[in-house]
Amino acid sequence: MKNRYKIGLGGGCHWCTEAVFQAVTGVSLVEQGYISSQAPYNTMSEAVLVHFSNDVDLENLIDIHLQTHASTQQHSRRKDYRSAIYYFDPEMKSSVEAVMISLSRKRNKNFITQILPFHAFKPSRASIQNYYKTRPEAPFCTRYIEPKLKKVKEILKND
């Protein structure tokens, strides 16, 4: 039986983030909602919980996250859209830190994405979960989600 892991990812709209990680092979579940960490990051921010098998390369998963939201710049809505990776245990924290260093060098970028301990999760209301899967032709989906899904295919193809 494969090991299952879980990580929290926040950056942009959780509709987009949900669709991005639902498109990744080896991801078994994406829970859309809001995540908080410890103070001063204890306010709820749009994010997803991604459940994945040990077949999924953590560096690939984080690379997809960093390349599908504004991970290198601050903006006025960062309180609602915190660029973060939420870990559940010290081992995952160490792995994420190593991956972030590797990707920063590889991409020659200074990521603002924070590595934070997970504290709490609140799911989105049922009517907006699986947003892309239930309404792919919606203007929001064609304008914002489709380009991110194309980017995911490019990243996975080059892996």
- Bond into 40 cis (ω within 30): yes
User: Which range marks the domain in which residue 119 is found?
Assistant: 4-157
What are the tens digits of pLDDT across the range 66-118? 999 989 887 777 777 899 999 999 999 999 999 999 999 999 999 999 999 99
Q: What is residue 79's predicted lDDT score, i.e. its pLDDT?
A: 73
Residue 58 near residue 99 (C-beta atoms within 8 A): yes
Q: What is the mean pLDDT of residues 110-133?
A: 96
Please report which confidence band the pLDDT of residue 3 belongs to, taking 50, 70 and 90 as the band edges.
Answer: low
**What pLDDT does 132 receive?**
96
**% of the chain residues with pLDDT over 90:** 82
Q: How many domains does the chain have?
A: 1
4 neighbors 53 (Cβ within 8 angstroms):
yes
pLDDT at 1 over 80: no
Residue 147: is its pLDDT beyond 80? yes
Which SS3 state, helix, strand or coil, does residue 56 take?
Answer: coil
121: CATH: 3.30.1060.10
